[in-house]
Amino acid sequence: MTTVEAPSSHLKENPWEMARSQLRQTAGQIGMEDSMLNVLLECKKCVAVSVPTRMDDGSVRVFEGFRCTHNVARGPSKGGIRYHHEVTLEETKALAMWMTWKCALMGLPFGGAKGGVVVNPKQLSVTELERMTRRYTTEIINFIGPEADIPAPDVGTSPREMAWIFDTYSMNKGYSVLGVVTGKPLEVGGSVGRVEATARGAAFCVREALRKQDLSIEDRKVAVQGFGNVGSNLALILADQGATIVALSDSGGGVHSADGIDVRAALAHKRETGSLEGLAGTETLTNEELLLVDCDVLAPCALEQVITGENADQVKATIVCEGANGPVTPEADAILDDRGILVLPDVLANAGGVVVSYFEWVQGLQEYFWKESEVNAKLNDIITRAFAETWRAHEERSLPMRQAAYALAVGRVAEATTTRGLYP
């Protein structure tokens, strides 16, 4: 039996301390009392679990897994499950807190949660992944549920893993529980529009931000870091709306063309070869170089802390749209703000996924499913409203967009906590 130990993290800053620092800053801006701040600074509960998994060769590897709930003042907790070899408890807690603010900003009746397993899913077979997922689900089964904590896909997971979680939970209950997890395949209670939802929400935010500058997406130059679900769909949506995609990247590196990249050709090339490298009509560049490409909109859609104090002064975009969670560090935030670069924060820009997850949860509880046009229209309404509220706070309080979004979201969670009172 082999125990898989967590490697040292790629993160330059402790994400949990970063999230808590952001909350303290917001608390000072909105005049929050210390007693309330003390409550919101902590996660309600966290669990670390051992996930022994039988490999295809008969050996057993033991992975480490986490599930954290930050807050449930506004409703059951909601948040993705991440499979990545650099997952840490501190990162999971931070992502849970950010999910609390994201749900509150969108006006959803959820609190924030997050989960993860320390694993490189690309190194496991499908059968090994399924066994690991089912064992992880079993280890956290007493913490999740449609009225308690609802998981969803995140980095390294997909509808396939959500189907395994749904089935494992349902088998233990003795009946199908559609609302236990969102991001499921359509065949088992998923929602149309969920796969593209995060990217579509980000595209709505880019559209609204450009409108504030009396611009449209047509002929805007866009660079997208990350070519997973969010990045690839965002590039495709913006290209279809007339944008020129000048740079794309995946975990192995990126490609660049000042004349524009055919996103569908890039998707086909990635499917055929497993990477973007060698795409016809493009030149190679690194993930770090992509962040500094000459463009109008830069969308980091991969992992955290890629724009830092070391490179923020070299970013050439006029808008940074955070498709990933926490891709801009606080130091970089200040530099970008001083340079007049508009940052669309993650709690706003990538909230489309949790919004349509909410739609899926509602549809599952009702066992009545909507048309894709209805899903996208409702998503547009919620994202556009949240953007308008954030922009208003941004202008009226002279705050950067992130601080404006936090002021709204944290205020709503604090209000719900006050209204409910402290038990006992």
Which of 294, 296, 290, 293 has the alpha carbon at shortest distance from 217? 296
Tokens found for residue 138: 């079993």
Q: At what angle do helices 89-106 and 352-366 cross, to 10 degrees?
A: 70
Task: Compute the distance between CA of residue 69 and CA of residue 77 in angstroms, rounded to an integer.
Answer: 6
Nearest to 297 by CA among 324, 320, 268, 267: 320
- One-letter amino acid for residue 155 of the chain: V
Q: How many CA atoms lie within 13 A of 319 on its CB side?
A: 26
Least Cα distance to 391 among 353, 348, 356, 355 occurs for 348
114 in active site:
yes
Q: From the CB of residue 38, how many other CB atoms can be counted at a distance below 10 Å?
A: 10
Among candidate residues 44, 78, 102, 114, the one labeled active-site is 114
Structure tokens at 300: 């980091």
Backbone φ and ψ of 276, nearest 5°: -85, -15
Would you name the residues annotated as active-site residues? 114
